[in-house]
A and B are shown apart, each in its own frame.
Chain A
């Protein structure tokens, strides 16, 4: 089945710096990709859903890049601020399943220092 590897497990950056989190996946049939943010004690908040036909997806303060050839998905936080401190999870949805079953990365704990 699908395997997703997420790096790094922990990341600490200064306010204003960029932060990059990367996931690699194995199933070439994967079509939808998700980034979730989880602040301590809170639920997972959907940041972005990416379809495989779009390589660059821009959100508010971040960009998601998808490289289908390398099966790599990255979340780039530009000019990080302390409010970005949280755990970030990538998730991959494969069309080989009959129902929605996400395979998650292990998460990245991001700390943004003032």
Chain B
């Protein structure tokens, strides 16, 4: 089936540093998402992105977070500066349509485990 690739699978950084998480979405998909999962808890929506713009974000999407997809390359999540509470697994997803009816299927990557020391 369609594959979403996330690079790297693990990242360890010191608090205050910048980190960029990369996502290679399904090639013909137009909508992109980031979800955050703290260990033992459920995955929570961070942001969705379409046509170069953030369409919707949750309260978890702090000012230190930003997303972009320059020139159709990787869809990235940047955190600058990082904080201890940013330690989590970040999942990228993509979909073909917006799913305004709720029916759209999201295809997920395998996640990037971020550890902030």
A residues near B (Cβ < 8 Å) are: 4, 6, 30-32, 34, 36, 38, 41-46, 49, 51, 89, 93-95, 97-107
Contact = CB atoms under 8 A, between A and B. Distances in A.
Contacts of B14: none
A41 B43 contact: no
Interface of B: 1, 3-4, 9, 31, 33, 35, 40-45, 48, 50, 55-56, 91, 95, 98-111
A93 B103 contact: yes
Contacts of B102: 30-32, 93-95, 97, 100
A106 B40 contact: yes
B41 A100 contact: no
Among the interface residues B31, B99, B102, B105, which one has the most CB atoms of the partner chain A within 10 A? B102
B65 to A, nearest CB: 17
16 contacts: A36-B108, A42-B110, A43-B110, A43-B111, A44-B110, A46-B1, A49-B103, A95-B102, A98-B55, A99-B99, A100-B99, A100-B106, A101-B56, A102-B106, A106-B40, A107-B42
Contacts of B110: 38, 41-44
